């Protein structure tokens, strides 16, 4: 639970950092798709490396992060609808969980 709260705070700060700080660097590499892309990459890293495959906190984290993205992004492909990024990130986290549970095995160190 502590891990998930810290993660929520991390993603909240990450989105604020991207939408308020990194947007100034648009002439180098930052554009409208950078914020959701970076957030999704961090989410995938979290789901793959910081959570066991059988745990489900990551899905809630994905939903909340998606919600924050919806709030702080102006629109997605011209659609201004709260819930778009929630759906995208939740489906993404489900898919990762599915792949991890079904097809990935971790070997235990002897």
Q: How far is the CB of 81 from another protein (least distance, A)?
A: 6
3-state secondary structure the chain: CHHHHHHHHHHHHHHHHHHHHHHHHCCCCCCCCHHHHHHHHHHHHHHHHCCCCCCCHHHHHHHHHHHHHHHHCCCECCECCCCHHHHHHHHHHHHHHHHHHHHCCCCCCC
Output 50 or 88, the one with its CB closest to another protein. 88
Q: How far is the CB of 71 from another protein (least distance, A)?
A: 5
Q: How far is the CB of 77 from another protein (least distance, A)?
A: 16
Output 48 or 63, the one with its CB closest to another protein. 63
Binding site for another protein (CB under 8 A): 16-17, 19-25, 27-28, 63, 68, 71-72, 81-83, 86
Output 43 or 86, the one with its CB closest to another protein. 86
């Amino acid at each position: 639970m502590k891990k998930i709260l810290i993660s929520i705070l991390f993603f909240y700060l990450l989105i604020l950092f991207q939408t308020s700080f990194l947007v100034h660097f648009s002439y180098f590499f930052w554009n409208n798709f950078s914020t959701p892309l970076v957030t999704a990459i961090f989410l995938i890293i979290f789901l793959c490396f910081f959570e066991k495959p059988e745990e489900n906190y990551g899905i809630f984290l994905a939903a909340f992060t998606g919600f924050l993205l919806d709030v702080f992004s102006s629109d997605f492909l011209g659609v201004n609808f709260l819930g778009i990024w929630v759906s995208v990130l939740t489906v993404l986290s489900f898919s990762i969980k599915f792949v991890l549970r079904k097809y990935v095995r971790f070997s235990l160190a002897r």
